[in-house]
Chain A
Amino acid sequence: MEAKYPTEVCADKQIHQCDLFKKVPFYESYSEKLGAFRLTILEFPLAIILTQECDLEQNLRERIKEVTAADGKTLHDKFLVSLLCAPMYNAEHLFSGNHLSFLEISSNIKGSEQRKYIKDNREPRYHYIEFDEGSQIVPSIIDFKHYFSVSLEYLEKNIENRICSIKPIYRENISQRFSNYLSRIGLPN
């Protein structure tokens, strides 16, 4: 049986590694033509922050201090361009291959063996999570292949969209599996 992932509700304003946010946007494309613009946004109903906790903490600490550099500009050595995150899909939607159906995309339907493999977290691409009873979130799957970036400023301005945060050790487990996935070596077939 898989371990239930414990969560906590953070009341502070710092974004943490493995915070769960709802309605996270990814700005997919922007174009201009004859004075008109077209912007497409992917809105993920649930996403998890994968940026390292120390980076987030140091960034905020530096901004609070507001140190001025020798040239008169604001010192911001720990500046973050954006945060790394990954979508969390409803596990049953992903197993059924229809989690991207609103984008007119279908995925492979996962068979029973494949589902068990994913649920046991033996498939490097996915991370299956069942949450503790208090969080009220359905069993979900992080798809590491779908990682994207989101602006820190956006998340801080929409901090009310933070649902909860996964507790330490569990979050390090997710982070380690993500880094393992990114550093895999694809050998020729």
Chain B
Amino acid sequence: MLDSPLLPQPAIPDYSKPQENIPQEEQKNSTGGELQEIIVDKVRRIIIRGQIDGS
């Protein structure tokens, strides 16, 4: 019993399994909204190309 926790342990979700990315369209439709984004998103690189004169 010495190894038993003294306090109730928090219910931490198990993220040990790889997280799959939710498709963009599914994210928009998800009722989870921002929470879903925070869980699944990773930093990404956005590349923008264009003409300097704006054409």
Contact = CB atoms under 8 A, between A and B. Distances in A.
Interface of A: 1, 4, 22, 25, 28, 32, 35-46, 87, 89-93, 96, 98-103, 130, 136-139, 163
Contacts of A43: 43-46
A36 B43 contact: no
13 contacts: A1-B7, A1-B9, A32-B52, A36-B51, A37-B50, A37-B52, A39-B49, A40-B45, A41-B48, A89-B42, A90-B15, A100-B43, A136-B35
Interface residues of B, number: 28
Contact of B45 (A4, A92, A102, A136): A102
A87 to B, nearest CB: 6
Contacts of A163: 34, 38
B43 to A, nearest CB: 5
A95 to B, nearest CB: 9
A38 B46 CA distance: 10
Closest 5 A/B residue pairs (Cβ): A45-B41, A92-B15, A102-B44, A41-B46, A39-B48
Contact of A138 (B7, B10, B38, B51): B38
A41 to B, nearest CB: 4
A61 B15 CA distance: 43
B38 A137 contact: yes
B2 interface: no
A25 B52 CA distance: 21
A163 B46 CA distance: 22
B10 A45 contact: no
Contact of A45 (B43, B48, B53): B43
A93 B52 contact: no
B51 to A, nearest CB: 6
Nearest to B47: A40
Given A40-B45, A91-B15, 8 more contacts: A43-B44, A43-B45, A87-B43, A89-B43, A92-B19, A101-B42, A102-B45, A136-B38
A177 B53 CA distance: 46
Contacts of A130: 10, 12
Contacts of B47: 38-41
A35 B52 contact: yes
